[in-house]
A and B are shown apart, each in its own frame.
Chain A
Amino acid sequence: MTAPPLTAETRREVGSTPAWFTPLLVWRVLVAAGFAVLLTTRRGIAIEGANRVLVLAGVTLALFVAMLAGYQTYRRRHLGRLLGFTVDLLTASVTGFMALNRMSFFNGLDAVGERFNRNIIWLVVIVAGWLISGWSERGGLSRPRIQRIGRYIMAGGAAIMVLAMGLLGAIPGVLANIADLEVVPVLGVAIVAALFARIQIGESAARLFGTTQSQSEGFDGLLFIAPNALGFLAFFAGPLIFSLVISFTEWSGLQPAEFVGLANYRELLGDALFLRSLRNIVIFGLVAVPLTVAPALLLAALLNSKLPGIRVFRAIYFLPSIAGVVGVTLIWKQLFNATVGFLNYSILEVTEFFNGLFGTAVAAPQPLWISAPEVAMISVIILFVWQRIGFDTVLFLAGMQGIDRSLYEAADIDGAGAWTRFRHITVPMLRPTTFFVVATDIILALQTFNEPFILQAPSTPAGPGNSTLTPVIYLYQQAFQQFQIGYGSAVAWALFILIFGITIIYFRRQGEDGFLKA
């Protein structure tokens, strides 16, 4: 894909300037000018309030990078290639998505997806052709006729499939969309940017910009992570920054946002429901995490043996963690039902059994698992622990199997018993695993949403007396039920600060103990 590594001597072969270099320089100027126009005339940035600040900041940064890329390209430096490629890739991606959106691509995806499912048989035909074509050269024998047949089958299958997908019928619609004056320039920019991005990957670009071997390897690395980086920017970093900006606004999601500074955060400090949700989630974490980690460790110790059928048990314990949380929670909701649920029925039966056995008349407790304020959070903890414990067990198990067996053998020689070995070898050697397990469980616990929400759904997600109100449920209520997305975002960032703070403290404590430094 990229150019072979070059030595310093062969860098920058002046005199062999490729034909695309001048257009590239022009393109660099145009891109920078485009961002400058966006920034100065604010045309196209039809966003009000704090969002506008975010967009303007982004455009300013883009302008700076585009100018730098242009200058470095002009100087034929590797940095110009690197920045230029990045700018072109982002430009092509953003404008490409804009053009597709303008052409209603995303609205039509569902229909195409359904047609794809209906015509999947033609995909099977294409695969069959591919297999036939490949089989023709098996065993070092070349069978051109069979290979041709395979290719014809592939081509025929592909042709029928695209026709069945509605290609012909869609062409007029596409032409009409492309004729839209707003689509043409955006699509044009996307195509040109994609072409220049492609050119800069090539060997001639590497030669022109004097890319060294180490630089070439770095560039290859960037190419590999580029798709993921784009996804990260679009679906994680972008929304993350967006929510941070939104948290400083009053925004319903339907009207322009109004910048309110720190007002949302100030309001949070005096918001009794938010503080209640924090109290709930801290208690939840303090109880649920130890109840998950300690049994998982013991369970892993039990499962870390070579008994016949032990793998079946491992799979059984792991199952809850791969089951869909919604389905599992709905089942638990039925189990928790105070009148017809299996838990209370079991308590009743067991109590009656012992009453019969000992001649006592103990009344069977019948907890209101979901509807009593003092019990509702316990139900959520039970569900969390049940679902999480299997995953933690597998992590501990993996950690245990990585412990050097010679340590146990030495302990055996010294006469150590099973408990001593577990206490003085297994537990200390598992500290990196324990750190990971506890950290992830804390983060998951503090972000709890699904379990209490579904247990109490649909009418009272906060639970009886707000007893199962968590910060994430509260932000959901604020953002999506009360249309206060700015305030909901502030709740999200306050929760982030809490999680981040706890994780840092935990991280440092573990660091003081040494293994993280090691």
Chain B
Amino acid sequence: MEGANPVSKRWTLLLVALAMIVAACGDAGSGDTTAETTAETTGETTGETTATTEGGTTDSTEAMTDGVSLRWMTRPDNPEEAAVYGSISDGLNIEGVTLTYEPGDNEGSSYQDKLLTNLSAGTAPDVFWIPGTDVARFVQEGVILDLREYASATGHNDADFYPGPMGHLTTDPATGQPADKLWGLPRDVSTFAIYVNQDLVAEAGVDNPLDLAASGEWTWDKFKEVSEGIAALGGEIKGYGQSNWWGPNGAWINAAGGNFFSDDRSACALDSAEAAAGLSFLSELYAGGSAVPFGEDPEPGFRAGTVGMFQNGRWATPGIRTVEFNWDVVGLPEGPAGPGNWLFWGAYVVNANTEHPEQAWALVQALTSTEVQAQISELGANVPSRVSQDALDAFLGFTPPANNQAFLDGLSNNPTTEGPLWLGSWPEFDAVQGPAIGDVISGARAVEDFSANICNEAAAAFGG
């Protein structure tokens, strides 16, 4: 453009570019784009920290008045949940702390990759979420902080949270046993339940699983009857579906009295008769043809109204809420050893390289407070991890499903806690057991052969 003086244009552009660089350099960490707060500590969200400050028992909280910036990241299950975390970050009041929430990608994309890259590059947030199965690796790699010192100073009580996750979050990596450690606090928990298409159940004229559960008759045999009864409607209708990963498969093993690991999680236990019983039942169920073919994603079918029962965790609830038929949830059917279940969880942990560990701990506490957990529960994707009647009441109040209690029953039915192998490698174990169990369920491998060999095949995961 010949009209404007090229020199002045160049300087204008240079000035704008410099201004942006200056703005970025001076802005790091404040992040007004997402969530920033620098208010007084007033809310109950940081009640424990506040109480300590008021009691004047620690010096640590005094340091928090200097004004520090903390970045935190978690893995939301969907954009709506990401927005809620953003608003929670907005609403948190931690004295002298400016918060920046960095929404992590969801499970289907690259949360884990991004976190690992950030940790490797030294740019990971001060506080971040990790899945329960990853705690051991992060501890062993020395990238997360032992918070016990800060917890002790602020009157934290481990018993405020479910013992299963806390067992792993207090484990000493040297012994693989709970000790005086604290690697973080659980963000939320979940258990499995069976999502039931009530319309299909009524159409098939089979016993309603919720009625059977209420009368204590919700057993494997009844479950199979219901599944076959619904599938008998014909066409593309199937009675039951579950996704192909260790959780749903393992739930049947648990209900038969088996487990993936020995009690101290130091050895494979898939060679037990109980594990074989669980897998045999599942294999027969699939062979009978009433279930969505093993390995196929049953959720589209359930949401399309062609699958009668669908096993999944609480995280599936927001998606299911969009269907137009009548549905509810029921607990898992009782096997030889009871209903069985998993307790899924993930934890907020503190970056070992954070410059503000005390404030980061305060943030972890705030993010796991009753109020925040109730706020997140409203979306329907999570069960509060805090053993608090207030939090549970808030969770139960958000319907559908009407029978939210089924998820809480799963928590009280002695579920197996999802967790890492402190004395082995969970990813290696998963890489072996996943395809092997899949082969058994799909009929490609005899359960006897599985029982005879699986623990040898998985020995490397335990250092064998």
Contact = CB atoms under 8 A, between A and B. Distances in A.
Interface in A135-178: 135-138, 147, 150-151, 154-155, 158, 161-162, 165-167, 169-174, 177
A339 B438 contact: no
A238 to B, nearest CB: 14
A133 B4 contact: yes
A482 B25 contact: no
B15 interface: yes
Given A134-B2, A134-B4, A174-B22, A105 B295 contact: no
Interface stretch (B44-52, B112-120, B266-274, B399-407): B112-120
Interface string A449-471: 00000000111101011100000
A174 B16 contact: no
Contacts of B9: 130
Contacts of B137: 483
A428 interface: no
A170 B24 CA distance: 8
Nearest to A469: B435
A479 B317 CA distance: 32
A482 B296 contact: no
B307 A339 contact: yes
Contact of A171 (B26, B142, B245, B435): B26
A38 B232 CA distance: 77
B167 interface: no
Q: Most A CB atoms within 10 A — which of B24, B29, B438?
A: B24
Best-buried of B16, B29, B117, B431 by chain A (most CB within 10 Å): B16
B4 to A, nearest CB: 4
A137 B439 CA distance: 78
Interface in B290-346: 292-298, 300-301, 304, 306-307
B3 A135 contact: yes
Interface in B1-46: 1-5, 8-9, 12, 15-16, 19-33
A154 B4 contact: yes
> Which of A126, A138, A166 counts the most B-chain CB atoms under 10 A from its CB?
A166
B24 A105 contact: yes
Interface residues of B, number: 65
Given A111-B32, A155-B12, A480 B116 contact: yes
Interface stretch (A198-206, A252-260, A416-424): A252-260
A167 B23 contact: yes
Nearest to A373: B444
Given A174-B22, A371-B244, A105 B28 contact: yes
A108 B71 CA distance: 12
Contacts of B295: 368, 370-372, 460, 464
A108 B24 contact: yes
A401 interface: no
A107 interface: yes
B376 to A, nearest CB: 21
A337 B1 contact: no
Contacts of A337: 296-297, 300-301
Contacts of A225: none
Contacts of A107: 28-29, 123
A151 B8 contact: yes
Most chain B CB within a 10 A radius of its CB, from A110, A174, A337, A340:
A340
A151 B1 CA distance: 13
Interface string A332-372: 01100111100000000000000000000000000010111
A443 B194 CA distance: 45
B26 A173 contact: yes
Interface residues of A, number: 70
Interface string A466-491: 10000000000100111100000000
Given A100-B25, A167-B23, A464-B438, A150 B3 contact: yes
B434 A174 contact: no
Given A167-B22, A338-B293, A482-B427, A104 B29 contact: yes
A134 B29 contact: no
- Which of B21, B27, B32, B304: most chain A Cβ within 10 A? B27
B108 interface: yes
B421 to A, nearest CB: 13
Given A105-B28, A112-B20, A170-B25, A130 B1 contact: yes
Nearest to B124: A254
A333 B431 CA distance: 23
Interface in A290-344: 333-334, 337-340
Contacts of B20: 112, 116, 162, 165
A115 interface: yes
Contact of A137 (B2, B21, B32, B298): B2
B438 A465 contact: yes
B306 A480 contact: no
Contact of A111 (B2, B15, B33, B442): B33
Given A151-B8, A371-B296, 16 more contacts: A103-B28, A108-B29, A111-B31, A112-B23, A115-B23, A133-B1, A161-B19, A169-B27, A170-B25, A334-B300, A338-B292, A340-B236, A340-B301, A464-B244, A465-B438, A483-B141
Q: Which 6 A-B pairs have the closest CB atoms?
A: A170-B26, A371-B295, A104-B28, A173-B26, A134-B3, A459-B245
